[in-house]
Amino acid sequence: MKRLGLFIFLFGFTGISVFAAESQQVDTGSTAWMLTSTALVLLMIPGLAMFYGGLVRSKNVLGTMMHSFAAMGVMSVLWVAVSYSMSFGSNVMGGWFGWNPDYLFLNGIDESILPGGVPEYVFSMFQGKFAIITPALIAGAFAERVKFRGYLVFIALWGLFVYNPLCHWVWAEDGFLFNMGAMGAIDFAGGTVVHISAGVSGLVAAIFLGRRRGYPHRQMKPNNLVMTMMGAGLLWVGWFGFNAGSSISSGLSTAQALTATQAAAAAGAITWIIIEGMHQGKMTALGFASGILAGLVAVTPAAGVVKPAGAMALGAIATIICYIMLIYKDKLGFDDSLDAFGIHGLGGIVGALGLTFFIRDSWMEEAAKAAGGSWTVWQQFGVQATAVGIAIVYAVVSTVVILFVVEKTVGLKSSVSEEMQGLDHSYHGERGYGMLTPN
Amino acid sequence: MKLITAIIRSYQLEEVRESLIAADITRITVSRVSGHGVQQSEEIYRGKKVIPGLIPKVKVEIAVNDEFVDVTVEAIMKAARSHNSNQGEIGDGKIFITPLEECIRIRTGERGPSAI
């Protein structure tokens, strides 16, 4: 909950930030870890590109990897230009999003140092990485069937009008979800902001765009599981920056988040292959990778408030629920191609709600004090459920509007022949594999 | 019995398969090959147009009984031909038909037309 102090500074004292910057010393330890975390979170995006890239058919491998890489370009430019201001500025439009003219192009934070001793540039860049990975996650839901130009417009609009407001509500000091209940809705590293919003938006987009040609009758096997496994590995490593970096410090809470992350990922992975082994008879590599992700997603909102045993429980529960969902996906008839909703949406919901039952005692005591006497698990559960519900409704409604606008203007759904020829040939004019043929 | 070998554009494979399945030809062997006819293919790497010497193609092999030769060839031609004009384009590929001496189903030892 170090973010709290940080935001009090950010928003309470912006007027005198120049003087504060002069008196504030850089804490080299915290800054070093935050720089490392920022790089680690960025590493997740090529990791995601490899994870998703390996899962599609070989004619779509580059197009799918480009969905992640393009987000690094589009979202970074937007983040520097306006998104940091929209996410971490002060309430405007009734708190819909934030705004602070000083943050445009990060102009006003050139010499600003946060009270934790971390330069604000580092905080801004760290948060910017989250804005990149969220729309990149959505791409998994509608893989293999979107126009590249339409996708670029879609993620730009989605980032501006879905991610930035959600980020503001949950993480900015004057965001209304940040202030709900005794100590706010708990979303340590982005269960609601990142995973639930990406998951449900992906589900909406998958339904809006329709199924891939031939789904579910034709086999659409992964073209390269080796690459998928490498991607899953990079995601796990990068997640330490994602979760442990979210303490915006280098201390006790960082260590707690880091430990919870490892415990949940491992428990999720083991749970997946055990279920799979009993159900299908074989323990698959892709199953292990999926379990890692389910565990990591579930612990993301919880990393700051649960102990290792609770983290393991969350990872295992999320895996069980995701596994059941994937089995029923085909029967439900929607084509969430790479399970953006099945893993990230559901895993995020399990984590955001389930964490309530594993909160460490010291947090509950503080919450009770803040609430003026008592604060029960069920009261916190109500806050969590409200935050999750608001995020889902907001993401669904805005995504539908954005999809509709993009489809009618630039066009989003691939034509039949583009889809059959593959994204790589149709939109990029390149081939992913085959460079080794005797040319 | 005939062996039909078609060399087609790799990205037309999906369309050819759908066309064959629609014509009830469901047994095929597909491999990735490279070569060149008169076509010059262009690809773009780092903003430069590159003309690869050997062009990646897909080879489709289908063993059929004589009465299915025409329907198979028709299905392949319809799907492998470029869409932008009825005449097709250089690079759409070729179809070879060769006589097939014998066909044996390994599982049963059956021989001849019934094994296809």
Per the CB < 8 Å rule, is B15 touching A434? no
A311's CB contacts (< 8 A; 6+ apart) are: A259, A260, A261, A263, A264, A267, A299, A302, A303, A358
In angstroms, what CA-CA distances link B101 with A247, A361, B1, B4, B115?
74, 81, 7, 13, 13
pLDDT beyond 90 at B49: no
A interface with B, Cβ–Cβ below 8 Å: 59, 417, 420-422, 425, 428-431, 434, 437-439
pLDDT tier for residue A6 given thresholds of 50, 70 and 90 = very low
Pair A204, A399: CB distance under 8 Å: yes
Across B30-47, average pLDDT: 79
pLDDT, tens digit, 9 for 90 and up, residues A21-57: 456 789 999 999 999 999 999 999 999 999 999 999 9
| Separation CA A120–CA A11 (nearest Å) | 13
CA A353 from chain center: how many Å? 16
Assigned token pair, A64: 């799918």
Across A381-403, average pLDDT: 96
Contacts A420 to B, Cβ<8 Å: 11, 14-15, 18
Q: What is the pLDDT of residue B4?
A: 96
pTM: 0.89
pLDDT beyond 50 at A19: no
Residue in B closest to A438 by C-alpha: B54
Residue in B closest to A220 by C-alpha: B14
**Residue ranges of domains in chain A, CATH in brackets:** 7-211+222-413 (1.10.3430.10)
Q: How far is B83 from chain A (nearest CA, A)?
A: 10
Per the CB < 8 Å rule, is B32 touching A439? no
B70's CB contacts (< 8 A; 6+ apart) are: none
Interface of B with A in 3-42 (CB under 8 A): 10-12, 14-15, 18, 32, 34
Q: Which of A192-201, A319-328, A425-434, B47-56 has the lowest mean pLDDT?
A: B47-56
Cis previous bond, A119, omega within 30: no
pLDDT, tens digit, 9 for 90 and up, residues A109-167: 999 999 989 999 999 999 999 999 999 999 999 999 999 999 999 999 999 999 999 99
Reduced to 3 states (helix: H, G, I; strand: E, B; else coil), residue A166 is helix
Q: What is the pLDDT of residue A435?
A: 53
Pair A258, A243: CB distance under 8 Å: yes
Contacts A429 to B, Cβ<8 Å: 43-44
Nearest to B34 among A417, A429, A437 (CB): A437
Per the CB < 8 Å rule, is A439 touching B15? no
Contacts A438 to B, Cβ<8 Å: 34, 54
| Separation CA B111–CA A64 (nearest Å) | 46
Residue in A closest to B17 by C-alpha: A420
Reduced to 3 states (helix: H, G, I; strand: E, B; else coil), residue B111 is strand
pLDDT, tens digit, 9 for 90 and up, residues B91-101: 899 999 999 99
Domain range list for chain B = 2-115
Q: How far is A377 from chain B (nearest CA, A)?
A: 55
Per the CB < 8 Å rule, is B14 touching A438? no
Task: Tell me, yes or no, if B92 comes closer than 8 A to chain A by beta carbon.
Answer: no
Amino acid at A331: K
Strand partners, B10: none
Q: How far is A213 from chain B (nearest CA, A)?
A: 10
Q: How far is B27 from chain A (nearest CA, A)?
A: 15
Architecture of the domain made up of B2-115? 2-Layer Sandwich (3.30)
**How many interchain CB pairs under 8 A, A with B?**
37
